Structure 1
Amino acid sequence: MTRAPQWRGLSRRSVLAGALAGGAALALSACGTRQDAVRLATDDRWKQFAGTTINLVSENTAPTEAIAANLRPFTELTGIKVNILMLELTALAQKVALDLAGGESQYHVIYADPYQVLAPYSKGLVDLRELASRPDLPQLPGGWGDFIPTQLDATGRFGDHDKVFAVPYDCPTMIWQYRADLFEKHHDRMADDLGFDPTPSAERTWEEYFRIAKWFNEKTDDVQYGAGHQAKQHDSLMCDFSNVLWSYGGDYFDNGKEIGLYGTTDPGACRLNSDAAIEAAEFYQRLISISDPSSKTWDWNGLAPALQSGRIAMSPNWHEYAAANEQAMPGKFGYAPMPRGPVRSANHFGGTGIGINANTLPNERAAAWLFVLWATSPETQLSNLKSEAGGGTPTRQSVYDMPEVKAAEHRPSAMPNILTAPAVSQAWEADKIGLRPKIPMWNECDTAIYTQLSKMLAGDASPADTMRETAKRIDRITARGWAA
């Protein structure tokens, strides 16, 4: 994962309908002598590679599910056939690594997860600015400026601030999800008891969140617990804790914002041993102690049903669970940016872009670019929003500005994920977005973080010792460096 909203846990289908045949085609294509796609003599820039077949490898994400269910518009537009192979993220990263290292282009279009693909293998991806500037190819709709700026940097760049290796494709973001009906029902009593307006927003503090959770625990039987969290010994624990860490002014390395946006191969010393990080860990330990005890067994997919079934009153989770929330209890949920700590509100961003294999031959590379253009276009993103097979949420500002999308921010909504738009639009602001370090060795660091945090939550280590030991382990990992 890096991070994973509901679609990552629903059915870990390795292959979608039609992709079994696609997988066979992939295997066969790798066996023979490589030949470039044929370029046709035509004035239609979309049709110049008609008859070509390209292969996309992706994690099973909401936009890929929606696109795979409705490829006909692209095929009719271009005459290009697309095989889509969907895998669990670790398996995807392994296949991509082998393909790039072997000098092959079995997969032309790649779901370039920022941490498992982009950071370690950016040299194996095409700088997409070159394709975007070619006059013989269709122009990028809306230009680069139509993408949410922080998303373009976080999902598309590595090292070089100018090069773009991936186009923003999905954008799951952690926000505060809560039972709006219960907050409304108990608003006045909570406000009197707590001494502040309990309405969730970026102005609420984590300490206030803690007190709200405790109030629900003690003052009402509407839910079993006030709050739930994804605190299993798993990547989800790192994701959940990071919101608190950043809000307290802590970070994994110096220049955390810069490393999160642009990445580096040498992040320097880990800063989890700072006073701010230790204070964040102390608060997080307290928070989990009064949250639903099952929190320590939940990742994002365990947490979501707890909220949707009425077991808990609120939780931080990926915003793309909104559609399932609204299906479970129509009209009863609210969405807000994460609470703030002493420094800021921090909302963990988990988006990914799609890129193109640099081993592609010239014509197949251009054909792959046509697919990238179409798959990330405003029209396709709008179609994905409406899709019953997938959904996701757009990465382009122009889609959020469409009148029908703006209207869908209010109930009744045919695009329930867009109910979160007011919250996530704040969450993506430069001072509120939460970005883990984009470094090639992040996976090992991630494992060290959630392993040590899990020991802390089990009572086997103090917050201070946990942060110091985690910093030591991360320093050992980064000291080894990275050779792609």
Structure 2
Amino acid sequence: MTAPSPRRGFGRRTALMGALGGAAGLLAACGGRQDAARIATDDRWRQFAGTTLNLISENTAPTAAIAANLRPFTELTGINVNIVTLELSAMVQKVALDLAGGESQYHVIYADPYQVLAPYSKGLVDLRELAGQPDLPPLQGGFADFIPTQLDAAGRFADADKIFALPYDCPTMIWQYRADLFAKHGARMAADLGFDPTPGPQRTWEEYYRIAAWFNDNTDDVAFGTGQQAKQHDSLMCDFSNVLWAFGGDYFAGGEAVGRIGTVDPGPCQLSSDAAIAAAEFYQRLLAVADPSSKTWDWNGLAPALSSGRVAMCVNWHEYAAANEKAIPGAFGYAPLPKGPVRSANHYGGCGIGISGNTLPNQRMAAWLFVLWATSPQTQLDGLKSSAGGGTPTRQSVYDLPEVRRAEQRPSEMPNILTAPAVRTAWEPANIGLRPKIPMWNECDTAIYTELSRMLAGDSTPAEAMRAATTRIDRIVARGWTS
């Protein structure tokens, strides 16, 4: 849910699951720099039995599911795991202090690409080194089993040859809508609007706007056609970015490479371009027909507006599908986002998990065992089925399982997987939307949503907002970054 700052100070969909009760109290006291003991055994999974690992994570659905079902890992390895979950900005502060201080209080780290991976990659282990050790279990399916765009965006930084994290969650913004209402009114909408209103990447953003306005004017089934996550918050940047990329704009030149691999020097900001200004002008128009409460909503405010029947459609992180299906079973549909003049762009907000470079040799290998298990196909499948929430898989092999394929159709015991056809398309290189992976992104994010908020309040024009954001971002980037 980057985002995300949400996605991120990404609290993206951070409150999907509340903080795990009492988790902080579980954190093992960290006294001294004593390495874990290694046991002589032929069982590669049990070499570090008796070790205690500490995982620090944002409050996410996958972490909640793992915390609720740690017993299989402990039985497999003899390793105990304490889990601390925090709001992302608080988590980042603790990780930064731990890495800077040369400690490894946290062995396994939820590595948000923008607030942890980009600024602190030098403090993380290159996981290829552990994957190649013959006395450790192999990485099932290899690195190639992870969705390629996700492995790049969540796992790499600056150097395409190094992998600092394995994809752990994959919230992606898609078109979520009341399929029952589109079915009920579809023929009339088509006649009135002059096009087939069926949601999908074949629709344009202008058509999305017209569909929203149609619901406003022609039915009492919902109060508004669309809602947006346009609060002065990271969610506003996330929401706007889909339109920006669709219109052919971007934050920096070479946006695909800056988003997938990342860089410490992205060059001048591109938000003053004609395409970016056109995107801002459209976004301002869209908010004029959206639920007025949109300016007070982040992703967590928007989600219940859809699931409770207040709006007919919205753009939100796909992992809210489970809540939708619980609220009004069978009433929802999921599709990739509309296209702009250039493409359909679907904002990806996934994160990975990595290992602190401050870990001692045996601690590091024990932590690798946990990373292997936590991102394994079986654990990801268990997460899909978890009553504690769970995320959606980051491995292609899980989507290929017959039971998962069947669950893409209703009735489904894995409601989040109902979005699989939409997100598969969204993750294709031509359709994925990736914010810049740069060390100073958090400051840039603040500049973007602050200027957009001023625009939506009527304090600046779209052109003025984009130019002001450009000036602020160029100053931020010019200061550079030293980690």
TM-score, normalised to structure 2, is 0.98
Alignment partner, residue 116 of structure 1: 115
The Cα RMSD (Å) is: 1.0
SS at match of 1:395: coil
Alignment partner, residue 360 of structure 1: 359
SS at match of 1:120: helix
SS at match of 1:175: strand
SS at match of 2:46: coil
CA distance in 1, matches of 2:133, 2:479: 40
1:64·1:390 contact (CA, 8 Å) conserved in 2?
Answer: no
CA distance in 2, matches of 1:445, 1:7: 20
Alignment partner, residue 418 of structure 1: 417
In 2 relative to 1, CA 411–6 (structure 1 residues): closer, same or farther, beyond 3 Å? farther
2:15·2:59 contact (CA, 8 Å) conserved in 1?
Answer: no
Alignment partner, residue 321 of structure 2: 322
CA distance in 2, matches of 1:403, 1:85: 34
1:22 maps to amino acid: L
CA distance in 2, matches of 1:6, 1:390: 16
Alignment partner, residue 19 of structure 1: 23
Alignment partner, residue 288 of structure 1: 287
2:336·2:423 contact (CA, 8 Å) conserved in 1?
Answer: yes
CA distance in 2, matches of 1:64, 1:253: 33
CA distance in 1, matches of 2:370, 2:25: 19
CA distance in 2, matches of 1:190, 1:285: 24
Alignment map for 1:172-211 (pairs within 5 Å): 172-211=171-210
Alignment map for 1:225-304 (pairs within 5 Å): 225-304=224-303
In 2 relative to 1, CA 424–346 (structure 1 residues): closer, same or farther, beyond 3 Å? same
CA distance in 2, matches of 1:342, 1:331: 33
2:231·2:296 contact (CA, 8 Å) conserved in 1?
Answer: yes
SS at match of 2:45: coil
2:124·2:356 contact (CA, 8 Å) conserved in 1?
Answer: yes
CA distance in 2, matches of 1:433, 1:126: 27
Tell me the alpha carbon deviations over residues 248-275 of structure 1, each in whole angstroms, 9 at most, x when there is no partner.
0000000001000001010000000000
1:2 maps to amino acid: A
2:147·2:396 contact (CA, 8 Å) conserved in 1?
Answer: yes
Alignment partner, residue 385 of structure 1: 384
Alignment partner, residue 148 of structure 1: 147
CA distance in 1, matches of 2:398, 2:61: 17
TM-score, normalised to structure 1, is 0.97
In 2 relative to 1, CA 10–143 (structure 1 residues): closer, same or farther, beyond 3 Å? closer
CA distance in 2, matches of 1:116, 1:352: 10
CA distance in 1, matches of 2:459, 2:24: 47
In 2 relative to 1, CA 10–161 (structure 1 residues): closer, same or farther, beyond 3 Å? closer
Percentage of matched positions with identical amino acids: 75
CA distance in 1, matches of 2:180, 2:14: 28
Alignment partner, residue 9 of structure 1: 15
CA distance in 2, matches of 1:6, 1:459: 26
2:346·2:426 contact (CA, 8 Å) conserved in 1?
Answer: yes
SS at match of 1:186: helix
Per the TM alignment, residue 157 of structure 1 is displaced from its structure 2 partner at its CA by 0.1
1:129·1:164 contact (CA, 8 Å) conserved in 2?
Answer: yes
CA distance in 1, matches of 2:12, 2:476: 31
In 2 relative to 1, CA 11–430 (structure 1 residues): closer, same or farther, beyond 3 Å? closer
Tell me the alpha carbon deviations over residues 333-355 of structure 1, each in whole angstroms, 9 at most, x when there is no partner.
00000000000000000000000
1:85 maps to amino acid: V
Alignment partner, residue 58 of structure 1: 57
Per the TM alignment, residue 221 of structure 1 is displaced from its structure 2 partner at its CA by 1.0
1:187·1:198 contact (CA, 8 Å) conserved in 2?
Answer: yes
CA distance in 2, matches of 1:91, 1:42: 40
In 2 relative to 1, CA 259–210 (structure 1 residues): closer, same or farther, beyond 3 Å? same
SS at match of 1:266: coil
Question: Where do 5+ consecutive residues of structure 2 fail to align?
Answer: none
Alignment partner, residue 93 of structure 2: 94
CA distance in 2, matches of 1:6, 1:444: 16
In 2 relative to 1, CA 308–407 (structure 1 residues): closer, same or farther, beyond 3 Å? same
Alignment partner, residue 394 of structure 1: 393
